[in-house]
A and B are shown apart, each in its own frame.
Chain A
Amino acid sequence: MKTLVWVEHDNNAVKDATLAAVTAAGKLGEVHLLVAGANCAAVAEEAAKIAGVGKVHLADNPAYEHALAENVAPLVADLMGHHDAFVCPATTTGKNIAPRVAALLDVMQISDILSVEGDKTFTRPIYAGNAIATVTSSDAKLVITVRGTAFEKAETTGGSGTVEAVSGPADAGLSSFVSSEIAKSERPELTSAKVIVSGGRALKDADTFQEYIIPLADKLGAGVGASRAAVDAGYVPNDYQVGQTGKIVAPEVYIAIGISGAIQHLAGMKDSKTIIAINKDEDAPIFQVADIGLVGDLFKIVPELTEKL
């Protein structure tokens, strides 16, 4: 089987989310990549070095700069004439593009796969991760999105892919990019952080969140997350949210502070290697999944912990 993997990038560098998709695609067959963007030749060069990669298709066109689905989906659909499976990381970019490609190909997409069980058989979470379905496709071609935390990341070196320029359809003229507000931060991104410190509603307000969570995260070089309750209460922006409706993370260590452990939240972090929970309610559901728990007042515990680390 020949696969085509969507390379997630910012026109400068390959994003980590790509690497898990490469691993998933490698379980299906030959791995080809698509780098679609503007002035993104350097991305293609970098992508060609990913272990296990064959051909890298480079579609360099101003119309592809912001990965607008209206423009890139027809490009992918064209390339699928020579490929058997389109494999996309389940990022907001991938989730936006892949179904549009699937419909153009008259294929039923398989979303958010957790494992590859056969040529056309996969497992995927349903009901917010409360159940795992095993599904088999009967379509001639596959369109798949890949949950990043479910697959190892492919090595970024060792590959010797060849870059080949491809051209595709021009700007569809249906949509245009206006602006973006991307939080600039020195911190590791949540989806790639080794350690995450996450705060919940018990943090009380935005100031105390900053005062208690941030110094501990700084000390550990950790990413910062939050529960939906903390986001809805306005302690931190939306993109901090870990959970079924936010980001799905699986760091080495996840430290949940003042988070009770609603199903919604657990769905986003229960695949973390080690979970540490600090909560004053000893019956909080978070302790049922935590490897290490400490019951007590976070406003006393967290400063002491930050100091002693």
Chain B
Amino acid sequence: MKILVPVKRVIDYNVKPRVKADGSGVDLTNVKMSMNPFDEIAVEEAIRIKDAGKADEIIAVSVGPAKAQETLRTALAMGADRAILVETDAEVEPLAVAKILKAIADEEQPGLILLGKQAIDDDSNQTGQMLAALMGRPQGTFANTVELDGDSVMVKREIDGGLETVKLAMPAIVTTDLRLNEPRYASLPNIMKAKKKPLDTKSPADFGVDITPRLTTSNVSEPPVRQAGEKVADVDALVAKMKALGIA
């Protein structure tokens, strides 16, 4: 069985994004970029499934600029077997990404597609669900635990108020939540080895997908800033304030 793992190159998790003064977007010049953290979890889960003898090959895919090669090399260094870069400098919306991924899945016929529940740049939380719809296959979103069981996969999902377990017929699409696993760091020897693993480069046109955006962003601004209030001296003063708020 093959596992397909789509990954996205995004601003590093630890960097505070700065909004451009002209309102045209977030400034990404000279900003550290990394693999989307939820996608790292997806790569890790795929590796664990392969290590358990339940998968033969892990294919990492990214839709993005030439530099997304670095992100794919990271996935290869972690343990993916080969990679496909669908290169474009355009911003590609989740719907178009899902269409490209569907075309790749049609060629590769994976039994499982594992991807992050959302990217930490646009925070859309759509690609996995859209891909599942386009493929007419089931989806296990916000996965906390993934267990393969013959022709099906059990996914424990993080939902409001608790957890829910669903059983999905394979091929299935699973999106990862934070607590599914803790991704490994790639070791230096593996980083070296990853440089020799195959990486194919394609374009959206190779898959016949129109990536023209459906949404236009007219402005990006800073969120309203909250002003710091006052500090009180002791518990009595706090109690008085809380009484004034009507909650005590």
Contact = CB atoms under 8 A, between A and B. Distances in A.
B229 interface: yes
B235 A304 contact: yes
A21 to B, nearest CB: 14
Q: How large is the interface on B (under 10, 10 to 19, 20 to 34, 35 or more residues)?
A: 35 or more
A108 B234 contact: no
B30 interface: no
B138 A99 contact: no
A159 B155 CA distance: 39
Given A91-B160, A174-B138, A103 B214 contact: no
A125 interface: yes
B241 to A, nearest CB: 5
Contact of A96 (B139, B165, B214, B239): B139
Contact of A239 (B162, B216, B234, B239): B162
Interface residues of A, number: 85
A85 to B, nearest CB: 14
Interface in A174-201: 174-183, 189, 191, 194-195
A156 interface: no
B26 A127 contact: yes
A134 B93 CA distance: 15
Contacts of B19: 130-131
B216 A126 contact: no
B161 A189 contact: yes
Contact of A309 (B128, B223, B242): B242
B124 interface: yes
Contacts of B120: 127-128
Nearest to B218: A134
The 6 A-B residue pairs with the shortest CB-CB distance in the complex, in nearest-first order: A291-B229, A99-B129, A108-B214, A103-B133, A103-B130, A99-B126
Interface of B: 11, 16-17, 19, 26, 93-95, 98, 120-134, 136-142, 144, 154, 157-169, 178-179, 213-223, 226, 228-232, 234-239, 241-242, 245, 247-248
Interface of A: 66, 68-70, 73, 91-93, 95-104, 106-112, 121, 125-139, 172-183, 189, 191, 194-195, 220, 237-239, 245, 247, 252-253, 263, 270, 274-276, 282, 287-295, 301, 304-305, 308-309
Given A100-B133, A295-B231, 10 more contacts: A107-B95, A126-B121, A131-B221, A132-B222, A175-B166, A175-B168, A179-B165, A253-B242, A289-B228, A309-B239
